Amino acid sequence: MGFLILNRVFQAALVMIVVAMAAFVLSNYVGDPISNMVGQEATQEDRDQLREDLGLNDPAPVQFVRFIGNALQGDFGISYRLQRPVSDLVAERLPATLELVMVSAIFALVVGIPLGIFTALYRTFWGSRLILTVSLAGVSLPTFVVGILLIYVFSVTLQWLPSFGRGETTALGGWTTGLLTVDGWRAIIMPAITLGLYQLTLILRLVRAEMLEVLRTDYIKFARARGLTNRAINFGHALKNTMIPVITIVGLNIGGLIAFSIVTETVFQWPGMGLLFVQAVQFADVPVMSAYLVLASLIFVLTNLVVDILYVVIDPRLRTERRVKAGV
């Protein structure tokens, strides 16, 4: 067990080093950092001096180590566009994105898993077929279209919910949260649904497919032959086995949620990392882009790590490692 997790940690570190290299190449070699920092009127001497001061003439490995050192302290330089330290920008924006992603993930799981179980258990019931057909439509609805439709119905036409921003937020130390006020909750409803809908349909279909697969296995057949109740079979035996692959995919999809939070934040003008990133891409704001790259990857790698550990907790086959088979 320890070995397995250590192995995963090692892999995660490897991925982060690769990502850091990409971010380093991005900030130092794509475009000219100097011309982005100084005005048009700067002389060649000024530029050369700045280049020397910033250490841009050092060998690449030295620069890379410095880059990592700075990144570990949260220093990604100054945003070209906003002329503020990237770390400040990120610290301001991160809570908004994390809250959005969290609420959407919970929404997708809480609705998706029961619907998936239901449609698997009552396969031939018309309601299940309806849910499945609707879910296919859900997969085909681009995130931003969902957002626009929600805004049109609930903000423009019915005027029930706000169409942009986080609403009223409360500061808790360095963290701002919108989840402590009614206003904040009203503001997060539509963005969370928009972001979570696609994941919801994915989870629904995955849970259904896995559940059907598990219900066909021999141990379920044997459980039936032992006369266990449907409840014990479906929720005791089948569900637990279903959850193993589901956890993996859900873990992988945290990455998808983070990626698509970019779209959702743009639609709802949600003041998070995603909006910051899109603006950075539009304006070629390299320090922000590389910071986002590193941070998103970090969140992503960490969730994967958590998933791997969860996996070990659920599946006893992984827990015992290669213990020698006892008895014949």
Partner 1 sequence: MSALLEVKNLSVEIPTRRHLLVPVDDVSFDIAPGEILGVVGESGAGKSLTGAAVIGLLEPPGRIGGGEIRLEGKRIDNLKYRELRRIRGAAIGMIFQDPLTSLNPLYTIGRQLSETLRTHQPLSETAAKARAIELLDEVGIPAASERIGQYPHQFSGGMRQRVVIALALANNPKLIIADEPTTALDVSVQAQIINLLKRLAADNGAAIMLISHDMGVIAETCDRVAVMYAGRIVEIGAVRNVVQAPNHPYTQGLMASIPRLGKDDARLAHIKGSMPRPTDIPQGCAFHPRCPKRFEPCDQKRPELMKGDSSQAACWLLQREADQ
Partner 2 sequence: MTDQQAHIPHQSLGSRMVDGIRRFAGSDLLYSFVRQPVVVVAFLITVIFILAAIFAPLVAPHDPFNPASLSLMDSFFPPSWVEGGDARFLLGTDNQGRDIFSTIIYGARISLMVGFAAVVFSIALGVLVGLISGFVGGWFDALLMRFADIQLTIPGLLIALLVDGIARTALPSDMREEIAIYVVIFAIGISNWPQYARVARSGAMSEKVKDYVASARIIGTPSWVILLRHVLPNILGPVLVLGTIGLALAITSEATLSFLGVGVPPTTPSLGTLIRIGNDFLFSGEWWITLFPSGALVVLVLAVNLLGDWLRDALNPKLR
What's the closest the beta carbon of residue 207 comes to partner 2, in angstroms?
Answer: 17
Residue 129 within binding range of partner 1, rule CB under 8 A? no
Q: Is residue 113 within 8 Å of 203, Cβ to Cβ?
A: yes
Could you give the angle at the alpha carbon of 224 between the alpha carbons of 218 and 228, nearest 5°?
130
Pick the piece of the chain touching partner 1 (CB under 8 A) from 35-43, 150-158, 183-191, 317-325.
Answer: 317-325
Structure token pair of residue 103? 């609420």
Q: Is residue 163 within 8 Å of 268, Cβ to Cβ?
A: yes
Q: Is the dihedral of CA 70, 71, 73, 74 positive or negative?
A: positive
Helices 273-282 and 86-121: angle between axes, nearest 10 degrees: 120
Structure token pair of residue 299? 């969140």
What is the CA 145 to chain-centroid distance, rounded?
A: 20
222 binds, among partner 2, partner 1, none (CB under 5 to 8 A by kind): partner 1
- Please say which residue, 15 or 310, places its beta carbon nearer to partner 2: 15
- Please say which residue, 18 or 232, places its beta carbon nearer to partner 1: 232
Structure token pair of residue 177? 């949260």
What's the closest the beta carbon of residue 243 comes to partner 1, in angstroms?
Answer: 9
What's the closest the beta carbon of residue 122 comes to partner 1, in angstroms?
Answer: 13
Residue 28 within binding range of partner 2, rule CB under 8 A? no
Q: Interface residues for partner 2 in 262-291 (CB under 8 A)?
A: 262-263, 266-267, 277-278, 280-282, 284, 286, 289
Following CA atoms 27, 32, 36, 37 in sequence, which dihedral angle do they give, to the nearest 10 degrees? 80
* Number of residues in contact with partner 1 under rule CB under 8 A: 28
Q: Is residue 55 within 8 Å of 24, Cβ to Cβ?
A: no
CA distance 149 to 145: 6
Helices 239-267 and 286-314: angle between axes, nearest 10 degrees: 170
- Please say which residue, 169 or 311, places its beta carbon nearer to partner 2: 311
Where does residue 55 fall: left (phi above 0), alpha (psi -120 to 50 degrees), or beta otherwise? Answer: left
What's the closest the beta carbon of residue 276 comes to partner 2, in angstroms?
Answer: 12
What's the closest the beta carbon of residue 174 comes to partner 2, in angstroms?
Answer: 26
Following CA atoms 11, 14, 20, 23 in sequence, which dihedral angle do they give, to the nearest 10 degrees? -80
SS3 of residue 172 by DSSP: strand
Stretch (H or E) spanning 20: helix 2-29
Residue 237 within binding range of partner 1, rule CB under 8 A? yes
Give the residue, chosen from 52, 222, 255, 273, that forms a contact with partner 1 under the rule CB under 8 A. 222
Amino acid letter, residue 59: P
Q: Interface residues for partner 2 in 132-171 (CB under 8 A)?
A: 136-137, 139-145, 148-149, 151-152, 156, 163
141 binds, among partner 2, partner 1, none (CB under 5 to 8 A by kind): partner 2
Length of the chain: 328
What's the closest the beta carbon of residue 289 comes to partner 2, in angstroms?
Answer: 5
Give the residue, chosen from 174, 227, 282, 322, that forms a contact with partner 1 under the rule CB under 8 A. 227
- Please say which residue, 110 or 139, places its beta carbon nearer to partner 2: 139
Q: Interface residues for partner 2 in 54-113 (CB under 8 A)?
A: none
Q: Which residues bind partner 1 (CB under 8 A)?
A: 217-219, 221-230, 232, 236-237, 240-241, 314-317, 320, 323, 325-328
Q: Which residues bind partner 2 (CB under 8 A)?
A: 15, 18, 26, 30-31, 136-137, 139-145, 148-149, 151-152, 156, 163, 252, 255-256, 258-260, 262-263, 266-267, 277-278, 280-282, 284, 286, 289, 293, 296-297, 300, 304
